[in-house]
Homo-oligomer: A and B are copies of this chain.
Amino acid sequence: MQAKTSDKLLDAAEFRMRRGGYNAVSFRDLASDINIKSSSVHYHFPTKEVLAVALVERYSERFFELLKSEADGAKTPEEVLKAYSATCEKALVVDKAVCLCIVLGAEMPGLPQLLQDSVRRFFDANIDWVERALPNTYPDALRNRKARAFVAAHQGAIVMAIGLGDLEIFRGISEDSLRGVLPSKPNIEAL
A189 contacts partner chain B, Cβ-Cβ < 8 Å: yes
Distance of A124 from chain B, by nearest CB (Å): 8
Interface residues of A in 155-191 (CB under 8 A from B): 155-157, 159-160, 162-164, 169, 172-173, 176-177, 179-184, 186-187, 189-191
Binding site for B on A (CB under 8 A): 16, 19-24, 97-98, 102-103, 105-111, 119-120, 123-124, 138, 142, 145-146, 148-149, 151-157, 159-160, 162-164, 169, 172-173, 176-177, 179-184, 186-187, 189-191
> In this complex, which of A21, A103, A182, A189 has the most chain B Cβ atoms within 10 angstroms of its Cβ?
A21
Return chain B residues, CB-CB under 8 Å to A191.
183-184
Are B155 and A160 in contact, with the CB atoms below 8 A? yes
Closest to A21 in B: B107
Are B162 and A152 in contact, with the CB atoms below 8 A? no
Are A21 and B102 in contact, with the CB atoms below 8 A? no
Are A20 and B160 in contact, with the CB atoms below 8 A? no
Return chain B residues, CB-CB under 8 Å to A155.
156, 159-160
Contact (A163, B105) CB under 8 Å given A148-B169, A153-B152, A183-B187: yes
CA distance A155 to B136 in the complex (A): 28
Are A163 and B119 in contact, with the CB atoms below 8 A? yes
Partner of A106, one of B102, B183, B184: B102
Closest to A101 in B: B163
Partner of A190, one of B162, B173, B184: B184
Are B107 and A20 in contact, with the CB atoms below 8 A? yes
Are B179 and A180 in contact, with the CB atoms below 8 A? yes
Partner of A156, one of B152, B179, B190: B152
CA distance A30 to B18 in the complex (A): 26
